[in-house]
Amino acid sequence: MADAFDLTIIGSGPGGYVAAIRAAQLGMKVAVVEKWSTLGGTCLNIGCIPSKALLHASEMFEEAGHGFKPLGIDIPAPVLNLAQMMNHKTETVAANVGGVDYLFKKNKITTFRGIGTIAAPGKVFVTPENGARTEIETKNIVIASGSVSANLPGIEIDEKQIVTSTGALNLDKVPKRLLVIGAGVIGLELGSVWARLGSQVTVVEYLDRILPGMDSEVARQFQRMLQKQGMEFKLSSKVAGIDKQDDGSLKVRIEPAKGGDMELLDADVALVAIGRKPFTDGLGLDIVGVALDERGRVRVDAQFKTSVDGIYAIGDVIAGPMLAHKAEDEGIAVAEILSGQAGHVNYAAMPAVVYTNPEIASVGKTEDELKAEGVNYKIGKFPFTANGRAKAMLATQGFVKILADVETDRVLGAHIVGKNAGEMIHELVVLMEFSGSAEDLSRTTHAHPTLSEAVREAALSLEDGAIHI
């Protein structure tokens, strides 16, 4: 006799586990199918959470080595204990994964371990690594299977020398020379971790800029900051191949993106960080007729419904930015839709953060997008060099940039480069969620002295001018 549920979710990443909890809160009997031994998906196990643990730890190492003396703190040069740093990462992951386990038990969510395959609408087979296959009967199915690292043709990943983000989070020693292929968020974050710990980092990017899709002014200025930190960039370039040498090093063949003479570069570790692709292997989508788009993503309508009744999809496996919080919002929305409510995600107010030092945070339109759309916009900017708290913290790199409609004053986008940018962006997210204006923000009192005052000053500069510059 098959187990029967109101909702079965395939995948326990941020989209899947949040959808499960919300559906259980709304009274549904929920099952989650997870092939890994732990819950939380890529984000909690081998992505967002472990990378942030290493980013924070390496930032503290860098600060202890170079940032204390100007503050009057004299200490010996710090010594890296990489094993303990990795242990901190492991403990952080375990705490977060354990938290999801607790929430599943609290909300009476049933977990099935194994590969989930959709046999038909309303039927899911679970094939464990060992043991007999289980059959689940369910009113609705949500695909939340996430994404995997994309690879370059002809390059074999071994997760030791030629690694994805997974291997880069588990290196047992600091590579002398690290080659990062791809100047997106993952490449820059993990490149900055190992650069702080002593690696000579070179980033190769096919495009003529870093951080594709982000505001181009932000990207240009941020590249200069990373170069001052010692990172090197080879833009408009592609990796044609990687050869392992007898001495254990790598010989990397690099060519101009538009063709030209090949260059050889020596490296000890190469990180392939060219993006991620939807993971749909083993789901049986072709069998039940779930349609995919030209990029292998599951096609859904505005209510996250696929081409097959009773089957829905959320997160990295569908179109849109591959962000954990985007998947979470979609998980909440689809659970509410299935319970008869009006679940909704506002993609126009979806923040994104690069957790380097300084951080980058953005929401809404970039200046490039507004130009392309022919929108009549205005720019308000304020540098952290003019912010009192930033001076006290020796954190004066970066700026706040706000884009607003000339006629309505409505804020259309915002971009912050600076210390704690990922925390500061949210007042702009809330402002945009309520279709707020730059004047609304400029008339809102901000505590002094705080870094967030720079946000208000940027809004003031859109009108009569900032006070402190």
Residue 178 near residue 268, CB atoms below 8 Å: yes
End-to-end C-alpha distance for the chain, whole angstroms: 72
Tell me the sheet residues that pair with 137.
4, 123
Which sign does the torsion angle of CA 159, 162, 166, 172 carry? positive
Residue 252's identity, in one-letter code, is V
Place of tokens 């200490």: 75
* CB-neighbour burial class of residue 71 (10 A; exposed 0-12, middle 13-18, buried 19+): exposed
Pairwise CA distance, residues 62 & 56, whole Å: 10
149: tokens are: 């690292």
Among this protein's residues, is 448 annotated catalytic?
Answer: yes
Among the listed residues 344, 426, 448, 468, the single catalytic one is 448
Q: How many CB atoms lie within 10 A of CB 190?
A: 26
Q: Return the half-sphere exposure (C-beta side, CA atoms, 13 A cut-off) of residue 122.
A: 3
216: tokens are: 């181009």
The contacts of residue 226 (CB under 8 Å, 6+ apart) are 188, 192, 210, 233, 356
Catalytic positions: 448
